Amino acid sequence: MTGYNNAHSVYSASGAYRWMSCPPSALLEQQFPNETSSYAEEGTAAHDLAEHKLKKALKLRSKKPTSHYHSDEMDEMTDLYVEYCMNLIETARTNCNDLQILIEQKLDFSDFVPEGFGTGDLVVVGNGTLHVVDLKYGKGVVVSAERNPQMMLYALGALSLFEMLYDIEKVSMTIIQPRVDNFSTYEISVDELLAWAEEELKPKALLASTGGGEFCAGDHCRFCRARNQCRARAVKNLELLKYEFQDPALLMNDEIAEIISLADELSKWASDIYSYATALAINEGRQWAGFKLVEGRTRRKYTNEETVAGTAKAAGYTDIFKHTLISITEMEKLMGKKTFKDILGDLVEKPQGKLTLVSEADKREAVEPITAEFQIEE
Ligand code: SF4
């Protein structure tokens, strides 16, 4: 490997979309601490549980992990992941009696990215196809597998493990994001993957390793550690405020469409800056001109429900309890999926979601607008 000798290991596969879109972000991020969040911890707990369940399904030894993040929902979602993986494995097995199955496999793609490695949740190889599967427990952003750099990096790592042993022609990459019902698969030939690695990945990694290239703000800023103080992001977002309004007095439709597309990113940016400034004010006493810290509005609550019930009863009040039905997830768990479907299937509905305006890139199918009952007279 040439050109990367002094490079730092700053290129996570999960951040590949970001540093490939904005190469200098890789080094800029290094001055900020690695953030963890309850979402990240929850994701780790889900991965541990999914790994355990998949191993058990494959009759491998595994000790059940414990975590206070475990929940009925996590149980259900990791079951969906395992079901998908087992189907994939069974299908692959029908074509190959020499299948390799790797769970939570360290994948080294340092031939392409300095010191680059990651962990593949599931890698299956046999009979010409390499499968790479990634579980995503988050539900904030729906992630597509299509030309997803993180998945392509994992595929490169898996390829370097097996290319000498198997005749691999294509790679199938799947992202399973069960909480948003996203099962996204993308297939690519090995030749195309390697061409991408040489022509796009390597030059971007080289730029990133030297802090070169242009800062470029976009939706990839979302998890960048520099996002709160990044000037490039501020400049890009403040462009909205420089919008040149011209005659006529009312905005035209295409102007409104342009403002909506900018406003989405602008609101995320404003929210990041607000959270950042609030955290510094609370934790470090930082003063921001024109702002002060106050206590938010709260609602009254009982200090101890048992004591309240006892005290109210002793005072002669008996009609003080409400009965509520257990949740659908709890009921399904209680009865088992099949019985639940048989007994209560017809009594469960999924209400129509509130209509929301989203970017055309969103994977959900477009719906017809509500038809106006009357026309406004011209
Ligand atoms: S916030 Fe965005 S523009 Fe700024 S360094 Fe990070 S990825 Fe690049």
CB distance 67 to 48 below 8 Å: yes
Quick check: helix, strand or coil at residue 105?
strand
Phi-psi region of 366 (alpha: psi -120 to 50; beta: other; left: phi over 0): beta
Mean predicted confidence (pLDDT) in 310-316: 95
The residue nearest atom 1 of ligand 1, judged by CA position, is 227
The closest-lying atom of ligand 1 relative to the alpha carbon of residue 216 is 3
Q: What confidence score (pLDDT) does residue 5 get?
A: 37
Q: Confidence band (pLDDT; 50, 70, 90) for 10?
A: low
Task: Report the percentage of the chain scoring pLDDT > 70.
Answer: 93
Ligand 1 center–CA 19 separation, angstroms: 9
The burial of 16, by beta-carbon neighbours within 10 Å (0-12 exposed, 13-18 middle, 19 or more buried), is given as: buried
Distance CA 293, CA 296 (A): 9
H helix runs in the chain, sequence order: 16-21, 25-28, 38-57, 72-95, 149-162, 190-196, 202-210, 231-238, 253-284, 305-314, 328-335, 337-344
The closest-lying atom of ligand 1 relative to the alpha carbon of residue 233 is 3
Distance CA 79, CA 83 (A): 6
Q: What confidence score (pLDDT) does residue 291 get?
A: 92
Q: Confidence band (pLDDT; 50, 70, 90) for 51?
A: very high
Residue 13 DSSP code: S
pLDDT, tens only, 260-281: 887 888 888 999 999 999 999 9
Find out whether the beta carbon of 226 lies less than 6 Å from any atom of ligand 1: yes
Find out whether the beta carbon of 7 lies less than 6 Å from any atom of ligand 1: no
Best residue among 20, 229, 230, 238 to mutate for probing ligand 1's pocket (most ligand atoms within 8 Å of CB) is 230
Ligand 1 center–CA 327 separation, angstroms: 42
Q: Confidence band (pLDDT; 50, 70, 90) for 251?
A: confident
Q: Of 77-81, 296-300, 345-349, 352-356, give the lowest mean pLDDT range.
A: 352-356
Mean predicted confidence (pLDDT) in 48-74: 94
Nearest CA-CA partner of 213 in 1, 3, 27, 33: 27
Distance CA 213, CA 204 (A): 8
Quick check: helix, strand or coil at residue 101?
strand
DSSP state letters, 106-132: EEE-TTTSTT-EEEEEEEEEETTEEEE
pLDDT at 207 over 70: yes
Residue 253 amino acid letter: N
pLDDT at 306 over 70: yes
pLDDT, tens only, 105-164: 999 999 999 888 889 999 999 878 999 999 999 998 889 999 999 999 999 999 999 988
CB distance 182 to 142 below 8 Å: yes
Q: What confidence score (pLDDT) does residue 376 get?
A: 44
Q: What confidence score (pLDDT) does residue 35 get?
A: 76
Find out whether the beta carbon of 224 lies less than 6 Å from any atom of ligand 1: yes
pLDDT, tens only, 14-35: 889 999 999 999 999 989 888 7
Ligand 1 center–CA 231 separation, angstroms: 8
List the strands of the sheet with 182-189, edge to edge: 100-108, 117-126, 129-135, 170-177, 182-189
Find out whether the beta carbon of 26 lies less than 6 Å from any atom of ligand 1: no
Q: Which residues of 170-198 are buried (b: 16+ CB within 10 A; e: fewer)?
A: bbbbbbbbbbeebebbbebebeebbebbe
Q: What confidence score (pLDDT) does residue 246 get?
A: 66
The residue nearest atom 7 of ligand 1, judged by CA position, is 221
Q: Confidence band (pLDDT; 50, 70, 90) for 248?
A: confident
- Give the pTM: 0.76
pLDDT, tens only, 69-111: 999 899 999 999 999 999 999 999 887 878 999 999 999 999 9
CB distance 216 to 14 below 8 Å: no
Q: Confidence band (pLDDT; 50, 70, 90) for 245?
A: low
Q: What confidence score (pLDDT) does residue 4 get?
A: 37
pLDDT at 64 over 70: yes
Quick check: helix, strand or coil at residue 185?
strand
Q: Is the dihedral of CA 151, 153, 154, 160 positive or negative?
A: positive
Q: Of 163-177, 244-258, 287-301, 347-361, give the lowest mean pLDDT range.
A: 244-258
Q: Name, in order, each residue with C-beta under 8 angstroms of 105's C-beta and a sequence gap of 6 or more.
A: 119, 120, 123, 158, 161
Q: Return mean pLDDT, the chain.
A: 88
CB distance 115 to 11 below 8 Å: yes
Task: Report the percentage of the chain scoring pLDDT > 90.
Answer: 62
CATH number corresponding to 16-210? 3.90.320
The closest-lying atom of ligand 1 relative to the alpha carbon of residue 224 is 6
